[in-house]
Amino acid sequence: MKNRITQLFNIKYPIALGGMAGVTDARLAAAVSEAGGLGTIAAATESAESLATEIRRLRDITKLPFAVNIPLMAPQAKDLIQVVMESMVPVVITAAGSPAVFTAALKQAGSRVMHVIPCVDAAKKAEGAGVDAVIAEGFESGGFASPFEIGTLALIPLVVDAVRIPVLAAGGVVDARGYAACRILGAEGISVGTAFLATVECTKIGSAWREQILSGRDVSTKILARGIAPVRMLANRWAEELEKLISAGVTKKEIMNFIFSGDPMSSEDGPFACGQGVGLIQRIRTVKEIMEDFVTGSEELLKRMATGD
């Protein structure tokens, strides 16, 4: 499969691993790259030193292209940007901030740049800032959520019509049907997080979260902290604890500290970000199996649609 995304990033399939703090490490990112996609290291909870180490670890595993995801609202964002430039990271994904701040410097350092956007205006600003592509993230995504609450089905065609640069779709995409739908909507690729949580190569989550992912249903996630720091999380007892804190009038900083207080490696329950598509995940598979399902499964679906079978 060749299109603008595969050519931009020198990858086989236009499928990127979504950056999930504390979870998408070098091993998982490398597995996605080796399977033909764009593996991504999440830098949100990394220091400059630990990110540099993780990049070296990934390069020990694979020589294929990869990305680093950096939320620009992170207090250490400037240091993380410096690391990816010094490390000559092929692709940098920025989010939660202005793409105008670092895009020019990143491109001058040799990186391709994508920016995560929640609405049409943000997509236009990112294009104006010179990014190579945007990731249009629908409200179904896990983690910090857009205050605009635009779902993927509406967001993707709106953004595709508004910009000239390639668009990747994110939010609720966990299988071949979701990938095919995004292609029909005009996206040239997808960014996927939740589906890759249930893989052999995802070793940064403990048994409690793995069990909740596998038993997930359509109502297993919810948006919390609307109007303060909206985030989609698993609807477990820790979500209830966060709701109590919000009712007590805690600050945004305290809410953020609570959200990041969970240890993904723990076998105990805790606050855990997860997308709405979790209900479609039935078993643990390898990254390669998931990638093959996206690619071959979507092609079969589109062929059946074309022939009316």
| Whole-angstrom distance, CA of residue 135 vs CA of residue 218 | 24
Q: Which percentage of the chain shows pLDDT scores above 70?
A: 97
Ranges of residues in the chain whose predicted pLDDT is under 50: none
Bridge partner list, 39: 66
Per-residue pLDDT tens digits for 162-193: 999 999 999 999 999 999 999 999 999 999 99
Residues whose CB falls within 8 Å of the CB of residue 195, separated by 6 or more in sequence, listed in order: 173, 174, 175, 277, 281, 290
Q: How many CB atoms lie within 10 A of CB 297?
A: 15
pTM of the shown model: 0.90
Do residues 281 and 213 lie in contact, with contact meaning Cβ atoms separated by under 8 Å?
yes
Rounded Cα distance, 16 and 268, in Å: 29
> Where are the domains positioned within the chain?
4-204+279-303, 207-259
Domain range 4-204+279-303, CATH class: alpha beta
Report the sign of the C-alpha dihedral through residues 12, 13, 14, 18, in that order.
Answer: negative
The reported pLDDT for the residue numbered 264 is 63
